[in-house]
Amino acid sequence: MQYYVDGFRPGDPDLKPAAPGRAPTLGRKDLPEKVDVLIAGCGPAGLCLAAQLSQFPDIHTMIVEPKPGPIEKGQADGVNVRSMEMFQAFGFAEKVKREAYWVNQTNFWMPDPKNPDHIARVGRQQDVADDQSEMPHTLMNQARIHELFLDVMRKSPARLDPDYGLAVQTLEIDTTTDDHPVTVTLERADGTTTTVRANYVVGADGARSNVRKAIGGKLHGDAAHQAWGVMDILANSDFPDLRMKNLITSAKEGNLLILPREGGYLFRMYVELDKLNPDERVAARNLTVDHMIAAANRIMKPYSIDVKEVVWWSVYEIGHRLTDKFDDVPEGETATRMPRVFTMGDACHTHSPKAGQGMNVSMGDAFNLGWKLAQVLGGRSDPSLLHSYTEERRTEAKRLVDTDHEWARIMSAPLTPGELDGSEMPRFQKHFVANLEFTGGLAVRYDPSPIVADGAQQALATGLPLGKRFHSAPVVRMADAMEMQLGHVAEADGRWRIYAFAGKDDSSAPGSRIHALADWLENDPASPVRRYTRTGEDIDAVIDVRAVFQQDFRDLDYEDMPSLLKPAKGTFGLRDFEKVFCVDHKNGHDIYDMRGIDRAQGCMVVVRPDQYVAHILPLDATGELAEFFAGFLLP
Amino acid sequence: MQYYVDGFRPGDPDLKPAAPGRAPTLGRKDLPEKVDVLIAGCGPAGLCLAAQLSQFPDIHTMIVEPKPGPIEKGQADGVNVRSMEMFQAFGFAEKVKREAYWVNQTNFWMPDPKNPDHIARVGRQQDVADDQSEMPHTLMNQARIHELFLDVMRKSPARLDPDYGLAVQTLEIDTTTDDHPVTVTLERADGTTTTVRANYVVGADGARSNVRKAIGGKLHGDAAHQAWGVMDILANSDFPDLRMKNLITSAKEGNLLILPREGGYLFRMYVELDKLNPDERVAARNLTVDHMIAAANRIMKPYSIDVKEVVWWSVYEIGHRLTDKFDDVPEGETATRMPRVFTMGDACHTHSPKAGQGMNVSMGDAFNLGWKLAQVLGGRSDPSLLHSYTEERRTEAKRLVDTDHEWARIMSAPLTPGELDGSEMPRFQKHFVANLEFTGGLAVRYDPSPIVADGAQQALATGLPLGKRFHSAPVVRMADAMEMQLGHVAEADGRWRIYAFAGKDDSSAPGSRIHALADWLENDPASPVRRYTRTGEDIDAVIDVRAVFQQDFRDLDYEDMPSLLKPAKGTFGLRDFEKVFCVDHKNGHDIYDMRGIDRAQGCMVVVRPDQYVAHILPLDATGELAEFFAGFLLP
Ligand SMILES: Cc1cc2nc3c(=O)[nH]c(=O)nc-3n(C[C@H](O)[C@H](O)[C@H](O)COP(=O)(O)OP(=O)(O)OC[C@H]3O[C@@H](n4cnc5c(N)ncnc54)[C@H](O)[C@@H]3O)c2cc1C
Ligand SMILES: Cc1cc2nc3c(=O)[nH]c(=O)nc-3n(C[C@H](O)[C@H](O)[C@H](O)COP(=O)(O)OP(=O)(O)OC[C@H]3O[C@@H](n4cnc5c(N)ncnc54)[C@H](O)[C@@H]3O)c2cc1C
């Protein structure tokens, strides 16, 4: 963690210096007339975007929420490894790791072949495969995740707080101007309204999104006509695996999911309830928490639960829905019109909660959109970059909805004889294993586009697939022999990163390929580092270059390092010592082996601000590198 | 981390429910007339004790500090691994790990044999030996450590804040009563005074301690007649190891210590300045930060520093001083009189700051005294337990002063020819290596006493020396397959712990030795768990029993576990699933091998609330176990 570069400040290092004129706004009465970005909704999507934008001192963001304050419990609880990796970039992964439940194992229970009225454990599965991520899969209530984002916002340069008690009612877009073209009507709890003008509006206002409606978006999809219940409870049980995640199938009473939760006592159950008739709404059944508890006790026989406190519960019907477009530009007009309004999260796609994806995918939307908005608002990219949001995220959402569909189908089909007599691995388990990468949030792969190179040389880094998230691995920081994750240098700061992996025997002596690349990046007029970094900015303000060497840290010499790898930064021009890394020889974690990096030649890996691999090139492919950045950055 | 046992609470789990009637007191005008414990001084010692006592809802603590508020910078910065282990118990080790500088390596620089006017690197040393502790050695400014303790206090059941602007002037002890026998005179900044009566007073009021003076304590020791300077700076340098800890000896200009600090840019230098005449005070020399910078530049030739910001600096003279007694009971009266007033930290011992021990030893004092005070105030131990504080901690302080003395002697002796021509390992490095356990805070070993057993069977756990801190090792928690440190179950909650290591093949089937021990502990009238746990308290409120098995977590059955290992707790009688652990087979960390635990027989390891090993016994030595606890606990 780096701080004090502009001088010592006492206190919490996460509390960043406020941008000029910024002060906490919680509960303010006077609303601004114009903002850069107006976000509707304080769910995980809205808060993640707000946390991201609040890092930029020049961007004015407003986030509105009809509720009078933060929620306290309920809703989603699954944080997959990909979201944990993103939390690391926001600085609160350690907090979640400490507080949350870790899903280490998932167990599978089926009717006991000897006594099908009883369930028996038939399988166990490690939940996060080895080296799938350096992060655990965790479970923690959504309200607490909200708080952690709110904390980031409050401590950011923008000192951003939500404006509670305000709902987006509707909005209008003036396509003839670029000066705050979206006029948003906000409604107060008492029904009165006010307006605010924004350059961009983002609807993170949930499944009934008014923003979606205002831009004519429609959710398409279907329902499974199946009622489910979810409850967060404090309870005792003789069920032996109460602190593991369990997928339970009973012979006749339906399915049950047990998810242990933060704090060691709380857990969540998803309980299969009644089949619904076509056209029937779940509300019509008047299902209560008592129905749920009774159903759970029937499903988990011979075990039972004795509920002491119901913290939260809800009954719902599975549905899978998706909007055509995640922004306001009609199909066919993308060449001539730039997006001004976006939807994220449940506002544009909904799926079954049991897959635990809702919160994760919503935050993934926000992390994708955040840096793009910042880059366009900062004048660093053409607004056409914003088209890529709907392109990239709708594809992912579609995949999610499809997978979810399949999962629901698999879950609801009757058990086969092989499953019932125990001769066959239950399909839950099969499907679960096959989908580990997907549920971890790691299957996301963006297609080639101006921000994901086409002609990349994947062979130079076979373990870092282009368009997928940069998969971190252990390294040792040269300057202080710190054993750490290379991926953790990436903060949620909107910067691009180039990881330059040195070839064999390259110790950065003058004339070596690493040295030459760094010198070119620092000095050549064609270098993207030179072209896109503005006067007065730190040399790594736009593109942050880091190098990794194959030698032990003891065998490298700081004096040999090119000046780009020991840059002078901040008010005082202090040298940054955190740009150079080595293979972790001591612990035998060789990042070259782990990520399939070409030992002989080395390579450059270009990584987007949202941590996705954008390009892979030989160390001397300076022309191609320049060309790639010229595809979306403005000088 | 366990929470919600008494029901769900929204928000930060570290914010514990307030004890009845407790609310934040910061800035209060009305002081209490009587308190259980009055602590003088908000340094690391006072705050650590306050943080500890604030965990007990029934104890009323007051902590006074003459300064108007918390310090913002300066003073000590070394946090050794032992202190990090203690921070883990207080719940903020993760924060420190994230924010602080990690001392991974220490480098040694000596006059270059080829050119003695220049220094050259002659050695490197891993700073924390492998498996010395699961924690790193860190550097972070003392003010930030203070804040972390203040945060624990504020969020504790006692909602404790310091009363700033108040100094202990003097105190009087009425030896004829047990009802708040110490009357303390407090002085406000304006010179006016007030009094408060306390059951116990703890002087953590630094080297000029008024509390020490009030109980007639005198610091004995000597000065080295050597001026040193210390400065925290933001600076550039061509010195290549700026982000490593360095011990530098120049041929003629003296010694220099470089300690990199939190945030990646700041660092501290200790600079040897002038020799003083006997009887001369360092102040007389009028040494400034410019002298220090100039001296540093002379010592580190051919390198130099270019200082951009001096954050904090100080000039001091090395001294080693120790008081005879750390409490108010005169030597010879311990049989008849119980301590009422204590001193801790710099108030009773001072040493050279360069060894980085001041803050650590002071907090060690507090952690030793805290649980004892809590136990006596809670009526769980006879007040004679309090004698052990001065016995245990003065021995340690003496050892520290002696070691420090030797270090100073070694530092100041002229270089030998072998050192100068590079044929001999510099004595700094030799001494440094020999003292790694000591500087890590791990050499502390308490002598046999009622709270450290004499007849313990060390052979059953050779790697857990009696009287030394319980050395943690990795295990897997059975209930959720969590890979974790066994030592991290110990929180700073004043509880005793028994780790029962199962013998070979013992899977806790009814009748096995582990099962029999647990049943005896839970049910036998002679069991210390039964004798000392009060009606209405959780079964683990006084003695917390955990079991470790040699099997894989998949090969154990919760149904076989004795009820003591799945106890019902809290308002609802919820089952606690965190009492059973297994060997970490997957990662090949076998706690039995790592800590020399007898595989065939297993054993019990009794650990004090401050994490020191108190007893080691065979699993069936129930009589000896009962006898041990009867030596200091009251039914
Ligand atoms: C009752 C409920 C139960 C759920 N249970 C589960 C579960 O068990 N498991 C699971 O994985 N997921 C569950 N989900 C879904 C999960 O919470 C979402 O997938 C996730 O929160 C999506 O995040 P989001 O930010 O897109 O939307 P949301 O979290 O829905 O946030 C939308 C926010 O927008 C606000 N809003 C609404 N209208 C407006 C407006 N006009 N203007 C401004 N703001 C507005 C809302 O008050 C809300 O705060 C549940 C959701 C709900 C609502
Ligand atoms: C100026 C200075 C520089 C130091 N530099 C270093 C260093 O470079 N490296 C290092 O390792 N250590 C250094 N130390 C020592 C290190 O800070 C101490 O060893 C450590 O803080 C000891 O903790 P303590 O709680 O015992 O005492 P302190 O930290 O000294 O705290 C004592 C507290 O008591 C308060 N107090 C004083 N009088 C009274 C009174 N009458 N009533 C109530 N409260 C009172 C003081 O204001 C102070 O807050 C330095 C100490 C000082 C004072």
Nearest chain A residue to B121 by CA: give it. Answer: A554
Q: What are phi and psi of A48, to 5 degrees?
A: -65, -40
**Is A15 an interface residue toward B (CB < 8 Å)?**
no
Nearest CB to A574; choose among B72, B234, B241: B234
What pLDDT is attached to residue B330?
94
Joined together, the tokens standing for residue B629 give 């606890």
Residue B355 has pLDDT above 80, yes or no: no
Handedness of CA A466, A467, A473, A477 (dihedral sign): positive
In whole angstroms, give the CA distance from residue B136 to residue B84: 7
CB of A141 within 6 A of ligand 1: the answer is no
Nearest chain A residue to B557 by CA: give it. Answer: A240
Q: How far is the CA of B208 from the centre of ligand 2 (A)?
A: 9
Give the E-state strand segments of A439-535 in sequence order.
474-477, 482-485, 496-501
Residue B418 has pLDDT above 90, yes or no: no
pLDDT tens string B464-477: 999 999 999 999 99
Q: Do residue A99 and residue B308 have CB atoms under 8 angstroms apart?
A: no
CB of B362 within 6 A of ligand 2: the answer is yes
**Is B9 an interface residue toward A (CB < 8 Å)?**
no
Q: Do residue A2 and residue B260 have CB atoms under 8 angstroms apart?
A: no
Give the CA distances from residue A34 to residues A24, A59, A200, A633, in Å, rounded to whole numbers and listed in that order: 18, 12, 11, 26
What pLDDT is attached to residue A36?
98
Listed as ranges, residues in chain A with pLDDT below 50 are none
> For residues B100 and B140, is the Cβ–Cβ distance under 8 A?
yes
CB of A76 within 6 A of ligand 1: the answer is yes
In whole angstroms, give the CA distance from residue B545 to residue A288: 40
pLDDT tens string A25-56: 999 999 999 999 999 999 999 999 999 999 99
The one-letter amino acid code at B445 reads R
pLDDT tens string A376-388: 999 999 999 999 9
Handedness of CA B421, B422, B424, B430 (dihedral sign): positive
CB pairs under 8 A between A and B: 169
CA distance A537 to chain B (A): 18
What pLDDT is attached to residue A179?
97
Q: How far is the CA of B210 from the centre of ligand 2 (A)?
A: 13
Nearest to A145 by CA among A203, A76, A206: A76
What pLDDT is attached to residue A361?
96
In whole angstroms, give the CA distance from residue A8 to residue B15: 29
Q: What are phi and psi of B89, to 5 degrees?
A: -65, -30
> For residues B350 and B359, is the Cβ–Cβ distance under 8 A?
no
Nearest CB to B481; choose among A94, A105, A574: A105
What pLDDT is attached to residue B456?
82
In whole angstroms, give the CA distance from residue B564 to residue B543: 11
What pLDDT is attached to residue B568?
97
CB of A83 within 6 A of ligand 1: the answer is no
> For residues B154 and B24, is the Cβ–Cβ distance under 8 A?
yes
Using a CB-CB cut-off of 8 Å, the residues of chain A touching B144 are 11
Give the CA distances from residue B526 to residues A297, B504, B545, B626, B628, in Å, rounded to whole numbers and listed in that order: 40, 27, 16, 7, 12
Nearest to A201 by CA among A364, A49, A358, A22: A49
CA distance B342 to chain A (A): 31
Using a CB-CB cut-off of 8 Å, the residues of chain B touching A234 are 4, 7-8, 572, 574
Q: Look at residue A109 and give its three-state secondary structure.
A: strand
CA distance A571 to chain B (A): 9
Using a CB-CB cut-off of 8 Å, the residues of chain A touching B8 are 73, 232, 234, 266, 309, 311
pLDDT tens string A100-115: 999 999 999 999 999 9
In whole angstroms, give the CA distance from residue B297 to residue A124: 63
Most confident residue range from A402-416, B443-457, B537-551: B537-551
pLDDT tens string B91-136: 999 999 999 999 999 999 999 999 999 999 999 999 999 999 999 9
The runs of H, that is alpha helices, within A141-247 are 142-154, 210-214
What pLDDT is attached to residue B183?
98
Residue B343 has pLDDT above 80, yes or no: yes
CA A222 to chain CA mean position, Å: 26
Q: What pTM was computed for the model?
A: 0.97
Joined together, the tokens standing for residue B630 give 């009867």
CB of B229 within 6 A of ligand 2: the answer is no
Q: Can you count the helices (H) and strands (E) in chain B?
A: 15, 27
**Is A573 an interface residue toward B (CB < 8 Å)?**
yes
Q: Do residue A73 and residue B10 have CB atoms under 8 angstroms apart?
A: yes
Quick one: A290 exposed, middle or buried, by C-beta within 10 A (0-12, 13-18, 19+)? exposed
Return the ligand 2 atom nearest residue B44 CA: 25
CB within 8 Å of chain A, chain B residues 471-490: 479-483
Q: Whose CA is closest to atom 26 on ligand 2?
A: B345
What pLDDT is attached to residue A425?
86
CB within 8 Å of chain B, chain A residues 283-322: 308-309, 311
**Is B491 an interface residue toward A (CB < 8 Å)?**
no
Using a CB-CB cut-off of 8 Å, the residues of chain B touching A482 are 102, 104
Indicate the DSSP class of residue B312.
Answer: E
Nearest CB to A558; choose among B143, B240, B308: B240
Joined together, the tokens standing for residue B47 give 């705050």
Give the CA distances from residue B299 to residues A574, B125, B303, B414, in Å, rounded to whole numbers and listed in that order: 22, 21, 9, 15
In whole angstroms, give the CA distance from residue A498 to residue A545: 5
Number of other residues whose CB lies within 10 A of the CB of residue A366: 30
Nearest to A82 by CA among A375, A367, A391, A446: A367
Average pLDDT, integer, range B194-198: 98
The one-letter amino acid code at A207 reads A
CA distance A311 to chain B (A): 7
CB of B345 within 6 A of ligand 2: the answer is yes
Q: How far is the CA of B634 from the centre of ligand 1 (A)?
A: 54
Average pLDDT, integer, range B557-567: 96
pLDDT tens string B220-266: 988 778 888 999 999 999 999 999 999 999 999 999 999 999 999 99
Handedness of CA B558, B559, B563, B566 (dihedral sign): positive
State which of B38, B75, B194 you would mutate to test the pocket of ligand 2, scoring each by most atoms of that ligand within 8 A of its C-beta.
B75
> For residues A73 and A64, is the Cβ–Cβ distance under 8 A?
no
Query: What's the residue count for chain A?
Result: 635
In whole angstroms, give the CA distance from residue A442 to residue A436: 9
Indicate the DSSP class of residue A74.
Answer: -
CB of A229 within 6 A of ligand 1: the answer is no
Q: Look at residue B359 and give its three-state secondary structure.
A: helix
CB of B136 within 6 A of ligand 2: the answer is no
In whole angstroms, give the CA distance from residue B189 to residue B239: 46
In 3-state terms chain B splits into helix, strand, coil percentages (rounded to 5) of 30, 30, 45
Residue to substitute from A1, A3, A6, A8, interface B, most B β-carbons within 10 A:
A8
Q: Do residue B10 and residue A576 have CB atoms under 8 angstroms apart?
A: no
Average pLDDT, integer, range B541-546: 98
Q: Do residue A236 and residue B99 have CB atoms under 8 angstroms apart?
A: no
Higher pLDDT among residues B372 and B436, named by residue: B372
Please tell me whether the peptide bond between A24 and the residue prior to it is cis, using omega within 30 degrees of 0: no
The one-letter amino acid code at B19 reads A
Assign B457 a pLDDT band (cuts: 50, 70, 90). Answer: very high
Using a CB-CB cut-off of 8 Å, the residues of chain B touching A72 are 10-11
**Ligand at shortest distance from the CA of B146:** 2
Q: Do residue A244 and residue B11 have CB atoms under 8 angstroms apart?
A: no
**Is B578 an interface residue toward A (CB < 8 Å)?**
yes
In whole angstroms, give the CA distance from residue B525 to residue B622: 12
Query: For residue A278, what are the contacts with CB-CB under 8 A and spacing of at least 6?
Result: A225
Angle, in degrees to the nearest 10, between helices A142-154 and A44-53: 20
CB of B210 within 6 A of ligand 2: the answer is yes
> For residues A566 and A577, is the Cβ–Cβ distance under 8 A?
yes
CA distance B140 to chain A (A): 12
Q: Which long-range contacts (CB under 8 A, 24 or more apart) does B569-572 make?
A: B569/B5, B569/B538, B569/B539, B569/B540, B570/A265, B570/B5, B570/B6, B570/B538, B571/B5, B571/B6, B571/B7, B572/A234, B572/A236, B572/A308, B572/A309, B572/B5, B572/B6, B572/B7
**Is A244 an interface residue toward B (CB < 8 Å)?**
yes
| Three-class HEC string of A23-44 | CCCCCCCCCCCEEEEEEECCCH
Q: Do residue A308 and residue B558 have CB atoms under 8 angstroms apart?
A: no
Return the ligand 2 atom nearest residue B351 CA: 19
> For residues B13 and B174, is the Cβ–Cβ distance under 8 A?
no
Q: How far is the CA of B611 from the centre of ligand 2 (A)?
A: 25
What pLDDT is attached to residue A448?
97
Q: Do residue A236 and residue B13 have CB atoms under 8 angstroms apart?
A: no
CB of B50 within 6 A of ligand 2: the answer is no
Q: Look at residue B349 and give its three-state secondary structure.
A: strand
Using a CB-CB cut-off of 8 Å, the residues of chain A touching B72 are 10-11
Using a CB-CB cut-off of 8 Å, the residues of chain B touching A129 are none
End-to-end CA distance of chain B: 30
